[in-house]
Structure 1
Amino acid sequence: MHNKIAFLTAAVTLWLAASCTQRDKCVENPLIESANTMTLDISKVELNDTTTVLYTDAYFHPGYWIRISSESYLLADGKRYALTGTEGIDADSLFWMPKSGEASFQLTFEPLPRGTRSFDFIEGDCEDCFKLFGVDLTGKKAFNRLSDIPADVIRASETAPDAVPEPQFKIGETMVHMHLSGYRKELAKEANIYLNTLMNGQQPYTAAIDSATGRAEFKFWQYGPAQALVSVGMVNGQIWLAPGEEIDLYVDMRRSGQYILKRRAEKKQLPAFETIPFCYFSGTYAGLSAPSLYSDKYYGMNLYTGEFADYKMTAAEYTKHVIGRYQALSDSIAQSKLPPAGKELALINLKQEAVEAMAQGDFFREHNYRSVHNQWDRSKPLGLKIDLLTAENRAELCKLFSIADPKLLMGQHAMEYASAVANPRIAWPKEAGLEGTFASALKLALPLVEKASNAALTEADLQTLDGVQNPFWREALLKMQENTLALLKAVEGKAVIEQTPDVPVEKLFDAIIAPHKGKVVLVDFWNTWCAPCRMAIKANEPLKDGELKSDNLVWIYIANQTSPLVKYKEMIPDIKGKHYRLTDKQWAYLCDKFKIDGIPSYVLVDKQGKYGLRNDFRDHGKMKDTLKGMIE
């Protein structure tokens, strides 16, 4: 009897076990390895023997549309599982995002095999279709460390230095061997480095990614230390580069998936996933990427929010405000748990902001007024009289720390700091008694960069540096001009720059658009160093042979001489349209004429020749729809 009962018990147990395999499996908030979009997230996956259901969250601009293709599929172990149904969205139809910019819907697919550990969501095989890779079904809560990154590079990037390294005042050709860990060809075809330089602004560099190896190679001249923004698909972050070094840079492409997980955790108040580093790299400044140097707390002034300063402040009140903010934040840094180098780096960032705050104090108070009154139309009178800052006000800041410390080039706001010190309207070195220091050299050298970048530097220009002891500045300018001449020779004949009409400045714009009477003309004010300009131009190029292809639409691009001549001539062959490069005087007049508040800015000319500023065209969709309606 006991044996029979035991047999029946075992049989029931097996039957129950078999029954359990037929039950639904639910994976909440699955880890996502990487993605080519931040628009979609998968908050839950339900699996059974008949279907796989994705509970999908969408995040996009309110009033804009997204679309899910009926060709969507899941990819697991090399096999495709087709979309079979939707709920809350119709496949192949425009789905308009609500005012919240958030929506949810369900996508149903053929069943994945039991035991599937992960899958890819592929919205379609088109280049810009949504793709989420490595959607985990095992309940994994953290990313594994990648095995393709050398241990010595990891060690160099994770070991914080005892102090922030000194800036290297050298000239050299820098080489970056970029390795994309966890790379999939659908994530990106090219990699970008935006080099924020000491002397010549932000310089963009682009390299094709070898889809077989996931590598991209960069080589460029560097004059002094530089911070670089690295951007590959959805992944981006910052590194420091010393001039003339050859480094290996390992970018973790899973960072794109982590962006999605971080937003999910913040939106739904879920535990945060373990943070993975953006990258690891070798070289002199590798230690500046050590996570221990940085805090989740922000120790900055937030200068550009429109809330930093009250427009009603007098110059003396504003000065007191800046100094008070600096002292409070520096005290917070001193009391933080950051290591010594982390505290030093945070303080450098703060000092850079303080210098900019005093150099641009009149602007920041005006900015506050515009923000408070929502008055961004610069063609209208401001209705405000600013109590202008004086040398005495700026001298108060100089009592707190030396603005001539070369280490101030090693912070996050190095370009803004350098521009503030070299501001032609402010005599910083004289005001602060810093003649003959690093700050004095910076102020003398930076105005000559534009000439060197345009092959217009003269011996008379260089003589202004005779009192500067450090030979770096003279050598850098000469090398910059030498490289400019060599590159100009290489691009000779490849770029067409229109002859600027020889008319008084007040008639210049009309002369530029006169040959296109009866057509729609879009005039784009831009410069090579303007990242938003480049992004907007890149987005527009496909339209010229697509939706906006028309003989009745003319594209005119206006830049000025702050665009280095070589970079300008390298870029414009790939930008279809008419190109004008104006003098400072011509540019200033047109900016004043149209009340241009920054670039990119757009002036639209209709078929009747009437024109006006259209900065609502910074909304790419608005630009496209408006132009399409006008040419149709």
Structure 2
Amino acid sequence: MKINCTFVASLLPALMLTACHTGPKTVDFPLIESANTTTLDIAKVELNDTATVVHVNAYFRPHYWIRIDSKTYLRAEGEKYALTDAQGITPDSLFWMPESGEASFMLFFQPLPKRTRSFDFIESDCADCFKLFGVDLTGKETYDIPEGIPAEALKLDGNAPMPEPVFKSGETTLEVRLLHHRKELGTEQNIYVNTLNGVQEEYTAPVDSATHTAIFKFRQYGPAEVLLPMTGSIQVAPGEHAVVYIDQRGSGQRIVSRRKGAVAKPFRSLYAEGTYASLNNLISSRTDWPVWSMNLYNGKFADYRMTSKAYAAHVTDTYKALSDSIAADSLPPLMKAWMQLSLQEEAVAAMLGGNYFREHNYRCMHNEWNRNPIKGIEPMKPEDQAEICKLFDVNNPQLLMGAQVSDYVGNVVYSDGAWMETAGIRTGLIPSLRKYVLLVDKVQKGTLTQADLKVFGPEDSAFYVEALEAMQKDIAAKLEAVKDKAVIEHTPDVPVKDLFDAIVAPYKGKVVFVDFWNTWCGPCRASIKAIEPLKDTELKSDRLVWIYIANETSPVVKYKTMIPGIKGKHFRLNDEQWNYLCKKFHIDGIPSYVLVDKDGSYSLRNDLRDHNRLVKTLAEKVGQ
């Protein structure tokens, strides 16, 4: 960073005075405290007597557009300084990004006082407009350690032992305390919990405006990983009360570290207390930890022409080379142990998923993404897959503590079990997990019986039966709470070719918005959440009907507990009905929308995935 001043000198008999504040001031690449976007960066700020000139670098997808609102302003010491002019971009117009995905332009504002130490860049007051906070004008180059962090959360102990997973059930409380929080960064906080059964659960909590704290309470069955958006992840133990401090300046640091020629500087965005504080804090203490990964999903990990034996040898050799690299590095012992576990999780996924990863290589090389099977790839043989067991203990419970735990669980649970017979694995973590995860699915569908639990024997931990029974009890309570609120409409008993017409027929003369969605679809949930408040405000009308169509991949318990909060008519279709409608409307993914006009005509309208267009279109249709 560089600060330039134009000096004005007055020659006195015995003294020369210089005063930077009397002339123009330029700050190159100022430090940015926080932001709600990574699309914009500020390359330079010029302060003079007539204007404040902000040089902006923009980064976005080639051939996509961005927009700068004419109501954009700078905010400093409680005052607003309006946008007066622009060069290289026209406010309120679409700016199409070039092939490079990078662009630059200048924005002119009313002049800030020369004494200004920092300002906020506010692209109007809409919720999703660009906002950059704490743009520094003093020459500050690094972020300091936040105040008020307890000693336990600050402590880094690289010699601590690798913790064991906790196998029990309980209600976990997680306090997320947001440091350097701005209300514009959000009034809600989300977390995503990766559970032992491989399912990711989303939770949302309000951010207290006074304490900037969001408190989450959720039932936890066995070890789990919590993902904190734009920050990282932590391990949590079931039944504990954990606290995590998130330095929201991490959003500004991501912008600063992306600058060309920038030298990576230490930044820690997460501080944790709780059962796994030592591990969580060490992992989050640096943003430049070395990464040793097989990169399984880049399409280049394996050659589709490899035989089963050759592929197994490739996985073995790759694992050994990466493991040796971790061992030879000067990392703290705890970090080494965690990285080795993460690599082992990845190696298990690579070996058991050999058919998928070779097929993925073929599809990447030939740009063939249809669902047709790929011929000529030799299926993995159990004796080749079992080679992974010669490298390390694949049954080690600590393999639930690494960074690739979801891949590990998914592959050991759903792979063909023949490799286990070859390897002689009959008891321990993997056999128990295979029984447990399949029964969790029955719990979610409300079909678990006491007879199902007899699959567990004395060789299995009592945890699994206890967890399933506790889960079933919890689900029963949730269903009882929504018994009279979760209304699923009767699906018309007609041939599938007539199904859609039968669903919308009762509403002829009205505008009908049909949303194809499922509970596991994140974009679906986000869209519904954004639309829901509008049903009581600008889209409130008895001439507008909301219909939501899901299928049986939405777990019935999750589905029934969600739909009371979604105003409209709800239909849950079977596979035949869902697949027919997807083919009828050429649905390429969800959410997908079909708009029915007042005369009963309809068409797929996935242009309405643009929220602003959706609101405008529905308002116009209803008003016609």
TM-score range with shorter-chain normalisation? 0.7 to 0.9
Q: Say whether residues 1:324 and 2:320 are aligned partners.
A: no
Query: By how many angstroms is 1:281 displaced?
Result: 1.3
SS at match of 1:133: strand
> Paired residue for 1:297, among 283, 286, 290?
290
How far does residue 600 in structure 1 lie from its aligned partner after superposition? 3.9
- What secondary structure does 1:186 align onto? helix
- Matched AA of 2:461: N
Q: What is the letter of the counterpart of residue 559 of structure 1?
A: N
Distance 2:546 2:376 in 1: 41
CA contact (8 A) 1:513 1:521 kept: no
Mean CA deviation greater in 69-78 or 136-145: 69-78
CA distance in 2, matches of 1:566, 1:317: 45
**Which letter maps to 2:328?**
Q
Q: Report the counterpart of residue 393 of structure 2 in structure 1.
A: 402
Residues 130-529 of structure 1 mapped to structure 2, 5 A cutoff:
130-155=130-155, 158-199=156-197, 201-231=199-229, 235-264=230-259, 268-272=260-264, 274-291=265-282, 296-378=289-371, 381-382=372-373, 384-423=375-414, 425-500=416-491, 508=496, 511-512=499-500, 514-516=502-504, 524-528=516-520
The alpha carbon displacement at 1:358 in A equals 2.3
**Conserved in 2, the CA contact under 8 Å of 1:87 and 1:106?**
yes
User: Is the 2:21–2:115 contact (alpha carbons within 8 Å) kept by the matching residues of 1?
Assistant: no
The alpha carbon displacement at 1:30 in A equals 0.3
After TM superposition, give the deviation of residue 139 of structure 1 in Å. 0.7
Q: Residues of 2 paired with 1:476 and 1:502: CA distance?
A: 39
Rounded Cα–Cα distance in structure 1 between residues aligned with 2:144 and 2:50: 32
Deviation (angstroms), 1:209: 0.8
- Give 1:393 shift: 1.9
The Cα shift of 1:383 comes to 5.5
1:139 & 1:21 partners in 2: Cα distance?
A: 14
Change (3 A) 1:626 1:111: closer
AA of the residue aligned to 1:47: L
Q: What is aligned with 2:5?
A: none
C-alpha distance after superposition, 1:210-251 (max 9, x if no partner) = 1222111111111111111113xxx33211101110112111
**Farther off after superposition, 177-186 or 297-306:** 297-306
- Partners of 1:169 and 1:598 lie apart in 2 by 41
Residue 312 of structure 1 deviates from its aligned partner by 2.1
Q: Distance in 2 between matches of 1:72 and 1:87?
A: 14
Report how far residue 582 of structure 1 moved.
Answer: 5.0
Match of 1:22 in 2: 22
Aligned to 2:3: none
* Equivalence for 2:122: 122
Equivalent-residue separation in structure 2 for 1:319 and 1:423 (angstroms): 19
Partner of 2:12: 10
Contact 1:533 1:599 in 2 (8 A): no
Structure 1: stretches of 5+ with no match in the other structure: 1-7
Partner of 2:558: 567
Once residues 189 and 471 of structure 1 are traced to their aligned partners in structure 2, the CA distance between those partners, rounded to angstroms, is: 41
Aligned-pair CA distance for 1:187: 0.6
* Pair 605,620 (structure 1): closer, same or farther in 2 beyond 3 Å: closer
SS in 1 for 2:414: coil
What residue identity is the alignment partner of 1:53? V
- Aligned partner of residue 176 in structure 1, secondary structure: strand
Contact 1:65 1:95 in 2 (8 A): yes
Distance 2:359 2:540 in 1: 38
Corresponding residue number in structure 1 for 2:71: 71
Q: Structure 1 counterpart of 2:72, which letter?
A: S
Deviations, residues 147-192 of structure 1 (Å, cap 9, x unaligned): 122223222xx32353320111011111112211111111111001
Change (3 A) 1:383 1:438: closer
Note if contact 1:454-1:481 (Cα within 8 Å) is conserved in structure 2: no
Q: How far is 1:536 from its partner?
A: 5.0
Task: Tell me which amino acid in the other structure corresponds to 1:515.
Answer: I
Question: What secondary structure is seen at the aligned counterpart in 1 of 2:174?
Answer: strand
The aligned amino acid for 1:357 is A
**8 Å contact kept, 1:559–1:581:** yes
Q: 1:372, 1:622 → 2: CA distance?
A: 36
Tell me the amino acid that sits aligned with residue 449 of structure 2.
Answer: T
Deviation at 1:13, TM superposition (A): 5.0
Q: Spell out, residue by residue over 1:513-565, the C-alpha distance to the aligned partner (whole angstroms, 9 max, x if none).
A: 5433798875635333x43543454456678887999979865432325x443
Q: How far off its partner does 1:111 sit?
A: 1.6
Q: Structure 2: which amino acid aligns with 1:108?
A: F
SS in 2 for 1:422: helix
Task: Kindly provide the amino acid, as one letter, of the partner of residue 17 in structure 1.
Answer: T
**Does residue 93 of structure 1 match 2:97?**
no
Letter in 2 for 1:117: R
Residue equivalent to 1:3: none
What is the CA–CA distance in structure 2 between the aligned matches of 1:81 and 1:611, rounded to whole Å? 46
AA aligned opposite 2:234: I
Distance 1:618 1:240 in 2: 40
Contact kept? 1:226, 1:240, Cα under 8 Å: yes
CA distance in 2, matches of 1:427, 1:593: 37
Partner Cα distance (2:496, 2:493) in 1: 8
The more displaced of 55-64 and 596-605 is 596-605
Which amino acid is 2:151 matched to? A
**Contact conserved, 2:352 with 2:415, CA < 8 A, in 1?**
no
One-letter identity of the residue aligned with 2:153: V
Deviation larger for 511-520 or 389-398: 511-520
1:132 to partner: Cα distance: 0.9
Is the alpha carbon distance of 1:593 and 1:307 closer, same or farther for their aligned partners in structure 2, counting shifts above 3 Å? farther
Distance 1:498 1:310, change over 3 A: farther
Quote the Cα distance in structure 2 between the aligned partners of 1:169 and 1:386: 40
TM-score, normalising length: structure 1? 0.86
Unaligned runs of at least 5 residues, structure 2: 1-9
Amino acid at match of 1:247: A
C-alpha displacement of 1:611: 8.6
> Does the C-alpha gap of structure 1 residues 609 and 338 become closer, same or farther in structure 2, counting only changes over 3 Å?
farther
Does structure 2 conserve the Cα–Cα contact (< 8 Å) formed by 1:547 and 1:628? no
Match runs of 1:568-583 below 5 Å: 568-575=559-566, 578-582=569-573
Q: Which moved further from structure 2: 158-167 or 43-52?
A: 158-167
With normalisation by structure 2, the TM-score equals: 0.87
Structure 2 letter corresponding to 1:76:
A
Are residues 582 and 170 of structure 1, via their aligned partners in 2, closer, same or farther at CA, if it must alter by over 3 Å? farther
Task: Kindly state the Cα deviation for residue 575 of structure 1 after the two structures are TM-superposed.
Answer: 3.9
For the residues of structure 1 that align with 2:127 and 2:107, how far apart are their CA atoms? 21
Q: Would the alpha carbon gap of residues 280 and 131 (structure 1) be closer, same or farther in structure 2, given more than 3 Å must change?
A: same
d(CA) in 2 for partners of 1:161, 1:171? 29
Other structure's SS at 2:193 match: strand
SS of 1:377's equivalent?
coil
Compute the displacement of 1:499 (Å): 3.2
